[in-house]
Structure 1
């Protein structure tokens, strides 16, 4: 999906790591939400509350889920992070991403 329709967007940015990671929250009519953002090169660690789908739309990074191995996305790709877990990122180039918050099945 290239664009979203019939949504509400938070005007204020979510800012992390001194501005090296930023996003905007997008709310859908069905109550779900996503964040759209960019990450500058660097090393980061995030923690989840809900299961997350990380859709990388551009850039190069490596990610590591808790207890896992480093994996690389170069250009585009998707990975999933379980609820209540942390994950590490090593961002090599500017990364454009969309994070979807998913209900556990």
Structure 2
């Protein structure tokens, strides 16, 4: 899906890591919530409260998921899931556009 229709967008940005990662929250009529954002190159650790599906729209990242020992390469067009109440590490290799869906 390349665009969302009939949604509400929270005006205030979510800003992390001194502005190197930013996103906007998109709320759907059925209660679903997603964020659309940009990550600048760097290494970051994110915690999760809900299960997340992270879709990389463009860019390249390496991820280390909970319980795994090997980093995975993820490119634009790919996605990955992160369990609720956990954390993951991400190495952003170039400017990366993403969409994160929150489940549950």
Q: TM-score range by the shorter chain?
A: over 0.9
**Distance (whole Å) between structure 1 residues aligned to residue 85 and residue 78 of structure 2:** 22
CA RMSD, aligned part only? 0.6
Residue 73 (structure 1) shift:
1.1
Find the residue that maps to 2:18 and give its secondary structure: helix
Aligned residue in 2 for 1:71: 72
Aligned structure 1 segments of 4 or more residues deviating by more than 6 angstroms? none
**Distance (whole Å) between structure 2 residues aligned to residue 59 and residue 33 of structure 1:** 23
Residues 27-54 of structure 1 show CA distances to partners (whole Å, capped at 9, x for unaligned) of: 0000110000000000000000000000
For structure 1, list consecutive stretches of 5 or more residues without a partner in the other structure: none
For structure 2, list consecutive stretches of 5 or more residues without a partner in the other structure: none
Aligned residue in 2 for 1:33: 33
**Distance (whole Å) between structure 2 residues aligned to residue 29 and residue 66 of structure 1:** 32
